[in-house]
Amino acid sequence: MQVQIARRARLIERMRAAGGGIAVLFNAPEVARNRDSHYPYRWDSYFYYLCAFPEPEAALVISVDATSARAELYCREKDEAREIWDGFRFGPDAAREAFALDAAHPIGELDARATSLLADRPALFYALGAEDSIDARIARWLAGVRAQARTGVSAPTRAIDVRAIVDEMRLVKDAHEIDLMRRAGTISAAAHLRAMRACAPGRHEYEVEAELLHEFRRNGSQSPAYGSIVAGGRNACVLHYRDNAAQLRDGDLLLIDAGCELDGYASDITRTFPVNGAFSAAQRELYELVLAAQAAAIEATQPGARFIDPHDAAVRVLAQGMIDCGLIEGPRDAAIESGAYKRFYMHRTSHWLGMDVHDCGEYREPGEPGTGESRPWRVLRPGMVLTIEPGIYVQAADDVPERYHDIGIRIEDDALVTTAGCEILSRDAPKAPGDIEALMRG
């Protein structure tokens, strides 16, 4: 729990710098899947980051003034009869000790205590606008405090989005987080290796997906970090393809975008390879173009660079390659300026990665002059983790050379910014075309 204690201390410092107040963070609710079962439970990332308590129906309350701070948990009561059906519950007493908190109380008492918790606090820190139910609950609490105004009690006069503070904390990973993300990258890379070995014409996308899931769980991952994309042939041109149901055809490519979640931290890897184990000339031509674009983007992923620099580096390579193979017309700079390349490469090259696969954190510098796109892009710092994922997606069309029809390729790795450049956390998944062909032959 030392990691969570240190994180709470950092949040307390930032709350105190803002004048103090009270922070309330709710854990995620359980969600019904159908009449009598629920989706597998996954806690709220912000809540878990600060206290690591894994049960639903819980809230973390942190009170801060100029000289003191207090962290309290509200959770379900111990219920041995219910545990027979649903499994172990900590209960307040055990939770307080296990998670190094100042106090813990039954969750049923939170609404009754809210008035005294908020009374005379200058500010309320919570997830503004995250859930209508939370906003409504907070409004009721504030109304209860304001109802006591004639007794000299005052309600918070400022509401501050606690997520904005924690986002900045989560953006730079600590040693504990980096270790988990390295392990998640290793597990996910092994899953991609397994998928390559299992792939063959006539199999179905879902069969290959099953190989991924097997490797995730076999190595201790609790779940996929997101819905796996297993897209053969033209399906690879659908960026968020989800069906995973088609039969794999001889001569097609298979694009797999899949990563595991390990102890709350995501991996995100994409590999594209031939179903029959051998790239055609046209497939290899476009594949090597995307691989070169990724190499340029990785080279640009350095401390002190801007977040947009890897994308710009990848686009320069892709645009020139598209011109060379007749997909678009040059010159390169004009094709980039006009956005002509976006017909075949329509997404960004990177996103933050961490507890969430599209992790939190501003992509532009906060607090800089200007708004929106006028703010400068974020400067990369050691400890930040981002994906590097250029691609090319060529749907069949009359003005497209037939040899490239329905080829979709993406190559994605997870990059940890270091003091010397970046470390590829997913490096164990092969991506050189010769290495892929040798693996699939073997």
Active-site option among 72, 241, 410, 414: 410
Catalytic residue flag (residue 311): no
The b/e string for 242-274 (b: 16+ C-beta within 10 A; e otherwise) is: eebebebeeebbbbbbbbbbbbbbbbbbbbbbb
Active-site option among 35, 150, 240, 441: 240
Beta-carbon contacts of 364 under 8 Å, excluding residues fewer than 6 positions away, are 307, 373, 375, 376, 377, 378
Catalytic residue flag (residue 351): yes
Catalytic residue flag (residue 183): no
Active-site option among 55, 205, 209, 268: 268
CA atoms within 13 A on the CB side of 392: 32
CB contact at 8 A, 43 and 30:
no
Catalytic residue flag (residue 214): no
What is the sign, positive or negative, of the torsion defined by CA atoms of 243, 244, 249, 253? positive
Active-site option among 36, 80, 132, 373: 36
Partners of 159 in the β-ladder? 124
Active-site option among 82, 158, 242, 358: 358
Catalytic residue flag (residue 404): no
Whole-Å CA distances, 316 to 319, 342, 345, 391, 421: 5, 12, 12, 13, 20
Whole-Å CA distances, 251 to 289, 338, 431: 19, 34, 19
* Helix runs in 223-305, H state only: 281-300
Active-site option among 48, 126, 393, 404: 393
CB contact at 8 A, 262 and 223:
no
Active-site option among 194, 306, 351, 403: 351
CB contact at 8 A, 75 and 55:
yes
Catalytic residue flag (residue 381): no
Active-site option among 347, 348, 375, 405: 347
Catalytic residue flag (residue 176): no
Strands 32-34, 21-26: pairing kind: unpaired
Catalytic residue flag (residue 36): yes
Beta-carbon contacts of 170 under 8 Å, excluding residues fewer than 6 positions away, are 45, 49, 354, 355, 359, 360, 361
Active-site option among 309, 359, 412, 437: 412
Q: How far is the C-alpha of 153 from the C-alpha of 130, rounded, in Å? A: 28
Whole-Å CA distances, 57 to 25, 27, 72, 227, 280: 11, 7, 14, 26, 54
Active-site option among 257, 261, 309, 437: 257
- Residues that are catalytic: 36, 240, 257, 268, 347, 351, 358, 389, 393, 410, 412
